[in-house]
Chain A
Amino acid sequence: MPTDGGVAAVALAESAATKVAAYVHVPFCRRICPYCDFAVVAGTDLADRYVSAICAEIQRAEPFDDPLAAIAFGGGTPTALGPRALEQMLAAIESRFGVASDVEISIEANPEDLNPSTARELTAVGFGRISLGVQSFDDDVLSALGRVHTADQAWEAVGAARDTFASVNIDLIFGTPGEQLRSWESSVITALESGIDHLSTYSLTVERGTGLSRAVLAGAPAPDPDLQAEQWLRAADLAGGAGMVRYETSNYARAGHAVVYNLVTWAQGEYAAFGNGAHDHRDGLRSWNVRRVDRYIERIEQGDSAKSGSERLGPWEREVERVMLGLRRAAGVRAGAAGQRLVTSEGGVALRDAGILEVAGDRLRIARPLLGDGVSRALLALAPGDC
């Protein structure tokens, strides 16, 4: 399976460290999927006030020294807001922050909301990249996931997207209880045949407080990690066979379609973030907004900051974070102080012996991404040192 650890990929991954990005959260969904634990609400009751609040929050933000290399609208369902509202928020960002000439502007959408005409509206607003929450091309799996769209709708939506956007992604979820390996394979194959530029495969996780978690506690089947491992491997093979390159644990892209916004986050780059529950990273400080939509709006309307918490890592923790985030990429990460310490630590040696962690020159890579969290824990377990 081709994974991108080549020179160009390394350069691309590392260069994202100095890029800056912005994220806009749109929390509205038609209804809440049972596995979802994002900061979302059903319905669009607060939409108008929310859009005004976002614009106000953007106005108050400090611009970066450099123009933005990426802008991402996520959620929730950004398309729950009409093109005018999206345009208004995007314009606010562009005028406040300035954008690079090759800026990536992307939006998430659900298949039921995308048709040729909405697709054109979105590109007219300025979105060049779209990410579709297809999740599966199997209607049984879709209904098990509590999604409102069908496989046919998804296929139609992908077609509309491909005809309109410069770059199209599909999100797929694997490990839905009841989903067989065969079904997953055909979802992946269908996705690849639809002519997309980018594919994200996420494993279903049972998050506390969700409907799924309550069901599992009550005895419903949980995702099977062994089957998920098998599914991940199949997806990697199929995507590789279709000429896509895996550049992160869950992400595959054709040449030139790796997501800049993601690369910035994994390179420990800086980004501004707006909306309820949104997380930013600026001047070495990670902070996040209040999670509830109504509280967020109230705070902004009252002229207050919407921040509800922040975290400033010490130099060592920051170094550990750099390696942890960087290791998600197929390009790996420059070892640096934390990486060097890891390699010689007891845990690190065991990981190397097990063929999970690879050292090549001054870079570290995870050779078996499915076991990557073990590397992160070994990093976190290192005694703090100099860096």
Chain B
Amino acid sequence: MTDTSRIRNFSIIAHIDHGKSTLADRMLELTGAVTEREMRDQVLDTMDLERERGITIKAQSVRLDYRGPSGDFILNLIDTPGHVDFTYEVSRSLAACEGAILLVDAAQGVEAQTLANAYLAIESGLAIIPVLNKLDLPAADPDRVAVELASILDGDPGDVIRVSAKTGEGVAELMAQIVERLPAPTGSVDDELKALVFDSYYDTYRGVVCYVRVKSGLLATEDRIRFMATGEQQQADEVGVFTPSAEPVTSLGPGEVGYLVTGVKEIDRIKVGDTVTHEAAPAAAALPGYLEPTPMVFSGLFPTDGDEFERLRDALEKLRLNDTALVFEPETSRALGFGFRCGFLGLLHMEIVRERLEREYDLDLVATAPSVAFRVGLVGGGEREIKSPQDLPDPNERTEIHEPIVRVMIITPAEFTGTVMELLQQHRGVMGEMHYLSPERVELTYRVPLAEIVFGFFDQLKSRTRGYASLDYDPDGYAVADLARVDILLNGVPVDAFSAIIHKEKAYDYGRKLVAKLRQIIPRQMFDVPIQAAIGSRVIARETVKAKRKDVIAKCYGGDVTRKRKLLERQKEGKKRMKMVGRVEVPQEAFISVLQVDAD
């Protein structure tokens, strides 16, 4: 156990790509946590997906042994993701810390997630050290950005630390400042044990592994413990710290961050946000825990092979341990069979979940068009939440439809203000405030239907501002809207998985584009496949996938009988990635193509 005065716990928070993971790399190097041989860029981004995409998806904690000018310290660093979809991941990390490093790219300046994350840290009562990164870049304008950064924190530009995470310049000084400026954790070892479960994952051999932050008391190996919310009683089989590899220790004291293995295999017995205490001497009250995040978009996930439904359920439950923002409930589709309606924080989150399910759990999935959740008034009173277009009551059974609204914050260079406002208007936005962060940079606030923001808006914003604008949003109630459901019929049969609820003004255009898109995606079959878009019984668009005329390799293989069979087997494997909808083979990506129909 370490004296709390010798511990500092902090998160690195920033807008995406401002250099959080790279800064973490330098800190790991400076403290010798990784050897030169082990070092690679963004070493804490361990997931394959993170490395491929170059983004942080999961917060990662690591314990550093720091020998500074004022003695030896234990630093627990948590590297966090920067994308808007993963804000929840950031907020959970902050609850395990006393301080935060707010990092800003000195060439880019303050961006939307800089602000959003700064507010999160302030609300959580954390001490914040503002830091400018990428000083080595020729385009860096540290003096200007220091003013921007200080102004959002009501601080002094002179207190802003300047580093280059790439070259390492200024990082040693920053570490000294962390010890100086961030408070030590409080909490007494003599009090009852309270440890916050701030993350978890499922290990096939060890069961559920919890990431914990001890607030008070001592968590030791072999202690009998209790999870206060679920009531689960267990023995602490192993406690340890991440250095960054998992290393067992005998105990974790107040202020310490580490992991806990109990051998629990029943996933629902462990909840992120729960408090661990001792069975014999429990704490009187649990720690505050977390607010459940609000899912923004919903999509159906279906196994391509119907027999995999139970495996999908198991995988979702396990993944949820490591991704608490994921919610799901069983769903039945006439076209796709049994699956789950899943709630996500955004499209990136949705994509990541699907990819993780496919990779980590070896599943083959079809994802249906994402939708926001509507509130629908019912004739005869009452209201129903609709997370799936197929659940929309018929027009004669419903009154008005309410759609979710978000408060959107956009930061843009002042020169693009007009363009951005125009874009927001096209997306049914209502202007709120406009605020100059500096003469060159404007913060705009709008109220916009979530459905307009969540599908493709970000790309449009980026392309209209040459990549310079950034975006953040929060839920902000509901509003009545004039909406209709566009259905798609394949071969005359409605395919529920393709239905979408669309603003009436855009429905026709949407139907036309989607049908055209599907004609390209759906391969030619043994027969003609008509594709129609309809609102109610009114067909608004139609295309046909012509029957294929030749499906034979008329080639001389001589005695090589094996070759043709192997070729056919490969083709057949390819077909497995198709979903049979009635008699029509539909490729998986068709279901998601609904997304790529930009309705402007």
Contact = CB atoms under 8 A, between A and B. Distances in A.
Contacts of A273: 559
A321 B566 CA distance: 11
A321 B556 contact: no
A265 interface: yes
Contacts of A265: 558-559, 561
B568 A373 contact: yes
B561 A321 contact: yes
A263 interface: no
A295 interface: no
B553 A380 contact: no
Given A271-B559, A371-B548, A373-B571, A351 B526 contact: yes
B115 to A, nearest CB: 47
B583 interface: yes
B323 to A, nearest CB: 35
B562 A376 contact: no
B305 to A, nearest CB: 12
Given A350-B526, A371-B526, A380-B565, A250 B554 contact: yes
Interface in A264-289: 265, 271, 273, 278-281, 286, 288
A373 B559 contact: no
Interface in A164-208: 171, 200-203, 205
B565 A370 contact: no
B37 interface: no
Interface in A297-349: 311, 321, 324-325
A200 B558 contact: no
A172 B302 CA distance: 47
Contact of B552 (A325, A350, A372): A372
B549 A370 contact: yes
Contact of B561 (A200, A202, A286): A286
Interface residues of B, number: 23
Contacts of B565: 321, 324, 376, 380
B560 interface: yes
Interface in A122-163: none
Contact of A249 (B527, B554, B561, B575): B554
B569 A279 contact: no
B555 interface: yes
Contacts of A98: none
B550 A377 contact: no
A196 to B, nearest CB: 17
A287 to B, nearest CB: 9
A202 B549 contact: no
B526 to A, nearest CB: 4
A226 B551 contact: no
A350 B583 contact: yes
Nearest to B571: A377
A92 B548 CA distance: 48
B552 A354 contact: no
A228 to B, nearest CB: 5
B206 interface: no
A29 to B, nearest CB: 15
Interface string B408-437: 000000000000000000000000000000
B530 to A, nearest CB: 16
Contacts of A230: 549
Given A351-B526, A356-B526, A369 B556 contact: no
Contacts of A226: 549-550
Contact of B555 (A203, A279, A372): A203
B145 to A, nearest CB: 46
Interface string B564-579: 0100110110010000
A176 B565 CA distance: 25
Question: For the complex, would chain B's binding face be called helix, strand, loop or mixed by DSSP majority?
Answer: loop
Given A377-B568, A377-B571, A380-B572, A371 B561 contact: no
A225 B548 contact: yes
Given A250-B556, A373-B568, A376-B568, A228 B550 contact: yes
B551 A380 contact: no
Contact of B553 (A74, A205, A279): A205
B560 A202 contact: no
Contacts of A374: 526, 551
Contacts of B560: 279, 288
B550 A371 contact: yes
Contact of A225 (B549, B555, B556, B569): B549
Residue in B559, B569, B572, B583 whose Cβ sees the most chain A Cβ within 10 Å: B559
Contacts of A203: 550, 553-555
A200 B557 CA distance: 13
A23 B551 contact: no
A228 B548 CA distance: 12
Given A321-B561, A354-B527, A229 B554 contact: no
A72 to B, nearest CB: 8
Contact of B556 (A202, A279, A286, A372): A202
Contacts of A202: 554-556
A387 interface: no
B306 to A, nearest CB: 13
Contact of A373 (B551, B558, B561, B583): B551
Contacts of A61: none
A350 B554 CA distance: 23
Given A279-B560, A324-B565, 20 more contacts: A23-B559, A202-B554, A203-B550, A205-B553, A205-B555, A225-B549, A229-B549, A229-B550, A249-B552, A265-B561, A279-B558, A288-B560, A288-B562, A321-B561, A350-B583, A373-B551, A373-B571, A377-B572, A380-B569, A381-B575
Interface of B: 526-527, 548-556, 558-562, 565, 568-569, 571-572, 575, 583
5 contacts: A200-B556, A280-B559, A324-B565, A377-B575, A380-B572
Interface of A: 23, 74, 171, 200-203, 205, 225-226, 228-230, 232, 249-250, 265, 271, 273, 278-281, 286, 288, 311, 321, 324-325, 350-351, 354, 356, 369-374, 376-377, 380-381
